[in-house]
Chain A
Amino acid sequence: MAASNDIVIEVKNLVKTYDKVNAVDGIDLKIKRGEIFAFLGPNGAGKTTTVEMIEGIRKPTKGSIMLLSLDVAKDSGKVKPRIGVLPQEFSSFDKVTVKETISFFSSLYKNGKKVDDLIELLDLSEYRNKLYQNLSGGLKQRVGIAVALVNDPEVVFLDEPTTGLDPRSRQDVWKVIKGLKGSGKTIFLTTHYMEEAQELADRVAVINHGKIIAEGSVDELIDTYGTGLVLTFNGIGPKLPVFLGNTGRKVDLTGNGQVSIKISDKDELLGILEILKGAGVKYKGINVRRSNLEEVFLKLTGESLKQEVK
């Protein structure tokens, strides 16, 4: 059965077994045209194995994968010209320049995009004649993304595109990814970084131990699995954490003179502030925010993704 036109990736009951252990254990996914889909999970959760099966690099033990209405197992020759892939930890030929690298990959396709356009798109003009080995990590990733776009693909797979990059380089890559979405491409983004998924993704799936444990938009996930609101006090004295602890709440000392607690709603917030005022406990300011994806993930998996980041 062909997937509908709006669904560009449809995965059913996908299983990958190594030594009798299911690294990927019965995954179902549907990804719509034009959306950024973030695939989140700790190391060893099965993210890369799943995405490589969808790309056709790995052979599934069981299940079906329809990509652009084509069966990946049978029609990989037709699928390849229509997808672009940035593999995890991708690197290129050391002694070849940026322009030569992009030209090479472009020449592998019949519908190769203009190299100069890609260089401009990825803001690589200044580095076009530099050898790949002399580029910074951020520039290398930009070259990798350029290489993933040489065939003007309909679906782009980006496996950990910002791992190991400094914050500024990461922001640059995010800008490129947003631009790709703007041009109508479907993006399958595999990442460790919660803030990346939160910043970029239309929809998120969380994978753990080879199974999808949550799926939806960022807001949906936070609403469903979040812990409500987080109240943070700034410029606190020694009394405040003790006082809050005595109310039976879990107190999170974040350093820099800050302390946070979880609250469920506005009434609870007002109640706490009233009690503190009555008790004469001092602080300089407060901040209230919704739970974030990081906290959702922590709740779902029982582990923090930040610790998993290489």
Chain B
Amino acid sequence: MAINIKNLPRKKFVLPGNAACPGCPESMGLRYVGMALGEKAILVIPAGCTSVIQGLAPGSGLGFPIVNVPFASSDAVAAGLAAAKEVVGEDAVIVVWAGDGGTADIGFATLSGAAERGDNVIHICADNEAYMNTGIQRSSLTPFGAWTTTTWTGKRERKKDVPLIMLMHRIPYVATASIAYPTDFIEKLRKAASIKGFKYIHLHAPCPVGWRFDPAKTVTVAKLAVQTGMWILFEAENGRIRLSPPSKPYADKSRRKSLEEYLKLQGRFKGITEEGIRALEKMVDENWETLLKLIEATS
């Protein structure tokens, strides 16, 4: 079921009065969540950029029911909420909207626990690749070579592969998405909402403030991440992995744009050396190789 942007609900879930920075990818992502799930969504949000984006109490800049929760608790709160909704028989989609810290670092044990139990929750990791809300500190999802305020000479470690880790939890649905491909993301959200159990969607969300690029170029940068193969869009239903259409061409390395094209737009990679770029490129190749092998093995 292809999604046509014209047929999506008109109701706005990201409202005037929100406190997002110019060019914020999270407010884009939240708009798509609204378009995909509409009135059914209840959001559980741990500490992070969206704690700020939603605006000041007693008002709200977002049109969803929102439970703000401590950092390491979101998937457990969502599990309880989902259990309660099952008890009362309410048709709600419980969504955790967490950043890379709330997903891959401080929130990771909670995420893994909920996934293993199969709690009826969609976890969306809005991945802006560092702790942006506290001022651009590195996370385990910051890519190799990137400057942050705790890695002044570039991060030495590679990005943790959370989607594959979640795949190995054998949950019914895992997908990656990008804010540059809204219909792909919306389709994935709707699919996830139709499946009972734990669903994981990893949304790539380039941050103009933290990545040091022009706020007008959020979508351009996000697209380049896909076109250079840095970010691969796929989905896995019951463990069967498929490349998503926007990423399909780039399984062929020769069709990928050069990594430099992606890196040069971002101030965070200003200090990366030629050697660093080659190392990053090798990581991209390895990620593709692993994924293509997994696709073959699970098809």
Question: Do the two chains belong together in a single complex?
Answer: no
Please report B residues at the A interface, Cβ cutoff 8 Å.
none
Please report A residues at the B interface, Cβ cutoff 8 Å.
none
